[in-house]
Structure 1
Amino acid sequence: MKIAIIDDERPARSELRYLLSQVLPEAEIFEADGVKTADALMKEHIFQAIFLDINLGEVSGTVLASAIKEHQKKAAIVFVTAYQEYAVKAFELGAVDYILKPYDLDRIKKTLKRLEEQGYFAEEKETEKYEELDKLAVNAGDKIRLIDYRDIIYIEYNQRNSLIHTADNVYTENYTMTALTEKLEKKNFFRIHKSYLVNLQYMEELVPNLSNGYEVRLKHCPGELLPVSRSQIRHLKQLFEI
């Protein structure tokens, strides 16, 4: 857990640091005395809580708070001030709380409890530290192969299994079509039918059939035509501005 204290008065920083360490001895606490040192901290670390003095001298803490949010989107900002009238402004800027100087240990405890209850001190899941990779894991014999999304031509749902078609292979997996659609629909895939999810990059033709419907012809799939459900024809045409 990392906490930042931004205050241009060293005694105030030291006092707040001491009180915070009494309640959260395991926390890493960093200090900044102005805009430059605060900016360096924000770029170097990810903080769970930032205690920000409203009166920094060179610039208002309320102005600095907006800039901080660019780097620390998930951090709780707590304003510290000697003036009661800044309380309303603090909440208007999205602060979770504000603390009046001089500091009081019970008030610090109350603020930290509020942050904990609102989830700011929750441990980050390991998977949330990384951006989602554009790859799908499939079984390939005794190996697990990671297929780039762009290499998947289409996915067919057949008898409780998903058949993942690439240019050189077909992989059978137990992914549900719903799960695959949620994962891939933002990656240029489109559910043309309850049983088919296609990569739009491989679409070559939209072909009318004898049932007054349409079928899709895909690159690398000669002789194959995949059905488009009537409910999806209009949406598909809109995608291509037909």
Structure 2
Amino acid sequence: MDGRNLLKTIWSFALLVMLSCGPVVKENTDQPDIMEIEKKNLGSLLALYPKPMTVVGTKVEGKVNWLVVGHTGIIGHDRILVSMSKQHYSNQGIKKLKKFSINLVSREMLPKADYVGSVSGKTVDKSGVFTYHIGENGTPVIDVSPLTMECNVVDIYETEGFDNFICTVVNTYATPDVLDHNGKLDYTRLKPVLFEFPTYSYLATGEVIGKCLNLDAEPGMCAKQPM
């Protein structure tokens, strides 16, 4: 090998060494490593709790009756669902009159609400437990409840052991202290009691942690993905 080729070989080798010893490119560490956590299968468990605790007001054979109901839901934007065991005394009145009231429970009325959920109207007259008046739709409205909805039953969907009343809301009454300065419901003021069925526990509502569809405007919150 002549001197020119030897020099060329040495220079190529030196260049290769310099490139291999350059700065190490680090992997993207913006996203922390996420360990896959194995979830435990709890079987066919209904786990959509807690739910707002409510007292349903109706009349059975002309007498007002109150019942705690923890299974309520929303159907679309114009229907609500109230699911009640077929054994409840109130069902008779609701099926006949096709209307009832739904009263949200505050902490102040919780002891009385708990009571009307523990005894049956078949054997106990519960009409005097709450001070009430008759609403514009003809249903009993609890005065101390911060929010009451008068409902009309438009359909009844029966499942094993339950009457599921599908209703429209006719009137909604709210006390002034649960409204904001625009006269709209403010649930941070309302703070309805929540009910968790598996452990029969009452819970309080929590704090506001963000605004729906606007989290990208909140510091520290995840921005919406680009379209």
> What's the TM-score, normalizing by structure 1?
0.21
* Structure (1 or 2) with the greater helix fraction: 1
Identify which of structures 1 and 2 has the higher relative contact order when contacts are C-alpha pairs closer than 8 Å and 6+ apart. 2
